[in-house]
Amino acid sequence: MMITQPLRGGMLCVATLLLVGVAVSNRSATASGHTSAEAHAGLQGHAAADSLKIHFLEIVTPSADATCEVLSQIHGVDFGDPVAELGGARTAALSDGGLISVRAPMHAGEKPAVRPYVMVDDIDAAIAHAREAGAEIAIARMPIPGRGTIAIYILGGIEHGLWER
């Protein structure tokens, strides 16, 4: 099946909305007295590890302004002005202290992506584990002034981000 550009864009929007929906669902579960792990237990059959935290959810799309507008209207979040050190991304705070970011591709070769960055204690060890699992390391480590250090690996065609403070 050939995926057209409009279909791909729609799929990215749906994936984004699903991820944001899970975050909102977790917030609702926590507000009602259920822990995040309890909320996930029904979906996954086991509790999520406390150490797995999406610190930064990056959306790269040629429709950055429209994506921010839709997320703002649906979820009531406010996106700030573009942040230079994040590639011109506009960000909004997540209820757990993380950020969601939306930006346009930074060069012609950059494809649209939804990339979660998971917080890690030791980025070098995490990169080593990803490499041992057969991942392609796209960015081994990159400091972002005042924010921490990131890395990106690709495994099974999916881009994953790591974030260390």
Give tens-digit pLDDT for 11-42.
444 444 434 444 444 444 444 454 444 444 44
pLDDT of residue 50: 67
| Residue scoring higher pLDDT (143 or 17) | 143
Q: Which domains does the chain have, with CATH numbers?
A: 48-119 (3.10.180.10)
Q: Hey, what are 156's tokens?
A: 């099974």
* pLDDT score of 135: 98
What is the rounded average pLDDT for all residues in the chain? 81
Instruction: With H, G, I as helix, E, B as strand and everything else as coil, classify residue 92.
Output: strand
Looking at residue 118, its pLDDT comes to: 97
Angle at 93 between CA 107 and CA 117, to 5 degrees: 55
Q: How confident is the model at residue 47 (pLDDT cuts 50, 70, 90)?
A: low
CA–CA gap between residue 132 and residue 142 (Å, rounded): 20
CA distances to 11, 80, 89, 111 from 84, rounded to whole Å, are 27, 12, 7, 19
Residue with tokens 């230079």: 84
pLDDT (tens digit per residue) in 116-137: 999 999 999 999 999 999 999 9
Its pTM stands at 0.71
Q: Which residues pair with 150 in a beta bridge?
A: 142, 163
DSSP state of 117: E
